[in-house]
């Protein structure tokens, strides 16, 4: 056997997706009360450059789609953007379907589409967490995940460090909202459906233990700055203005790649 053959035989060669580069989108899907299932994070397998590792597991959610899901996930938040939109019905191929009509500024009846660029546990590339409605309120509302983290763990760490720290300094453990007995909470939307909201699962008392355990590490902090710069243009880009519908499908991000929008099932109340 040649030297090359001997050496290459020791190199792991995982399956790589060589299609047009995309920024993978991750979604939060609601659980089911009769089945007593929690919410999950989901990602399409075809959107990834390589198969994810733990905590992700193969998903059977969609019959004809390769996907991965996890009930709990550590995320490091990098940057975000928000844009208001209206849900409209369009006719395509003789069939009606829902789509988004993005607008320049919020107005009564509009919803808010939020996208957060994150580093996700088990995925080797940045992802965009895309959400709206009551999930948006649970994440970006006054008492949501974002502010709870920024005014809690991050602020305490900044006091210890004696300087401002980037948003992605810590992994945020996120899973389904549960009650005091550890049971999944199914929240009524007021529109005839139930949702399972995501929650931040930090210890009630913060000390050096959680701070050390959740710190992403020096290399990931440095990498986060590079990702933040990569998405600088993306942060200010807005889609589908001037009445143009631009909902499901792909859109360009600041890196010239594409992101897949969140499906419009389970559309609920405005943020």
In percent, the amount of the chain with pLDDT more than 70 equals: 79
Strands 40-44 and 57-59: unpaired
pLDDT value for 93? 78
pLDDT confidence band for 202 (50 / 70 / 90): confident
| 161's tokens | 């460090």
Instruction: Read off the pTM.
Output: 0.79
Closest of 38, 39, 43 to residue 27, by C-alpha? 43
pLDDT value for 271? 36
Closest of 254, 246, 221 to residue 88, by C-alpha? 246
Residue 201 and residue 195: Cα distance in Å, rounded?
Answer: 18
**Poorest-confidence range of 19-33, 56-70, 130-144, 197-211?**
197-211
Residue 220 has pLDDT above 90, yes or no: yes
Q: Residue written as tokens 């003789």?
A: 94
236 compared with 145, residue with greater pLDDT:
145
Radius of gyration from C-alpha coordinates of the chain: 20
Per residue in 121-131, pLDDT (tens digit) is 999 999 999 99
What's the mean pLDDT in 224-236? Answer: 93
Residue 7 and residue 10: Cα distance in Å, rounded?
Answer: 6
Residue 129 and residue 20: Cα distance in Å, rounded?
Answer: 20
């Amino acid at each position: 056997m040649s030297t090359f053959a001997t050496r290459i035989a020791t190199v792991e060669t995982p399956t790589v997706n060589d299609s047009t580069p995309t920024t993978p989108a991750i979604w939060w899907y609601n659980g089911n009360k009769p089945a007593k299932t929690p919410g999950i994070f989901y990602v399409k397998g075809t959107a990834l450059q390589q198969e994810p590792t733990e905590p992700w597991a193969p998903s059977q959610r969609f019959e004809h789609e390769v996907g991965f899901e996890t009930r709990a996930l550590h995320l490091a938040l990098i940057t975000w953007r928000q844009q208001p939109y209206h849900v409209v019905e369009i006719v395509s191929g003789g069939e009606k379907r829902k789509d988004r009509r993005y607008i320049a500024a919020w107005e009564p009846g509009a919803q808010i589409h939020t996208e957060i660029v994150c580093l996700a546990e088990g995925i080797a590339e940045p992802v965009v967490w895309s959400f709206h409605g009551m999930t948006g309120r649970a994440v970006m509302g006054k008492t949501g995940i974002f502010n709870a983290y920024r005014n809690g763990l991050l602020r305490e760490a900044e006091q210890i460090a004696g300087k401002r720290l980037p948003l992605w300094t810590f992994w945020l453990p996120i899973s389904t909202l549960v009650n005091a007995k550890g049971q999944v909470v199914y929240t009524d939307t007021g529109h005839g459906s139930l949702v399972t909201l995501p929650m931040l699962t930090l210890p009630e008392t913060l000390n050096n233990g959680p701070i050390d355990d959740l710190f992403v590490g020096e290399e990931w902090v440095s990498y986060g700055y590079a990702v933040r710069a990569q998405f600088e243009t993306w942060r200010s880009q807005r889609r589908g203005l001037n009445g143009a519908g631009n909902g499901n499908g792909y859109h360009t991000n600041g890196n010239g790649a594409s992101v897949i929008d969140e499906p419009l099932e389970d559309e609920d109340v405005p943020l």
